[in-house]
Structure 1
Amino acid sequence: MASGDPERGTKNRGYNTANVHYVETSDKLWTSWLIPIFVVANIAVFIVVMYVNNCPKNNLDFYGKCVAKFLGRLSFQPLKENPLFGPSSSTLEKMGALEWNKVVHEHQGWRLITSMWLHAGVIHLLANMLSLIFIGIRLEQQFGFVRVGIIYLLSGFGGSILSSLFIQRNISVGASGALFGLLGAMLSELLTNWTIYANKEFFHMLTTLHTLEVS
């Protein structure tokens, strides 16, 4: 991706902006397609998990009745069991949730990957997917799918490793580790190019003031 960094000094009526430098970017934004695929994949996996969960058949009414029974086998576990509107913990474990004992003692290292695509419920899924859309699409448009994809997968894998180290008695699911990786990349890019953004904003402010004065 080519970028242009022309420095321009302009002198406006009543305002000397000769020392104000700003960077014009001529970068052409990439088309974001990988992040939407990740979003669709996460939603599809959640639907499959709910289908396997089959609350009307497998719920023993220990915590109460299934929620949203009109959804059939996609209905949610009782809220006392799962307040996030999702499947049971046993179903998540069956589908690949991260569990320290199974990873360490039963050598099921694949759970470090599969747990990234599982979510505890609709609320959990919605929060993560909205965050992924707002953060990920902008990063992919600016840096391309290769870099964003690598950051997403490596961050998710690293997050799973940390979860397996610190959460040893419960199961862990979700794309939070991958999202924090993308958030860190966005903040790093913002801090690295802070002077560029600041100079551009300052120049635009002076231009606006000059326009108001002339009018």
Structure 2
Amino acid sequence: MSVKTVRSLADLKPLAREMAAARLAAEVERERVAAAMRLAEQERKIFELTVGPVTPLRSTDRFIHAVEPPSPEPRQREADERAVLLQALSDEIDVESLLDTDETLSFRREGISLEVVRKLRRGHWSLQAQLDLHGLRRDAAREALGLFIHDSARRGLRCVRVVHGKGHGSPGREPVLKGRVRRWLVQKSEVLAFVQARASDGGAGALIVLLNGTA
């Protein structure tokens, strides 16, 4: 054997080692894949034994529409607003000093002219909403009134009616809410003025209230 042939055989040894290593790596990978498949098959059989026989559902042509979730309700904010409104309306304020001493003890905020009160009394503005406080106790009536005025002003209403009753069903036939409603209304910044309703609109048992931005 010549020297050249010996060198050629020596050069082939590293190549042979690389090929052997490659075959070993391929065999290891095949064994890993096979093991994974056997494990998956075992898990499938265990699942089938656990669940039992399964009947495939019949295919249908129905289209299932995605249901939009309802809009979140700001319940905590509404509760906070109710609490603020309830606390803000005091029963201790001296309302008599704030009322005009006419035949109906009307009210007008500073800067509101007497002509506005006259127009309100004549029905210049159409009634857009009404709150009836009949049968409500003091705290419930106070909360209802605060929410009604707040909501009406936020909706941009101009003129509303508040029915407090004439007191015919109260002990002593005295209107329990009449004075309190006046006292609460003068504390609401949304209220510009109010007058006793005309006979056709409730008379002594109701007030016509003018709200912000309407004068």
Q: Please report the TM-score for the alignment, with normalisation by the length of structure 2.
A: 0.26
More strand by share: 2
Q: Which has the higher contact order (CA 8 A, sep 6+)?
A: 1
Max Rg structure: 2
Q: Please report the TM-score for the alignment, with normalisation by the length of structure 1.
A: 0.26
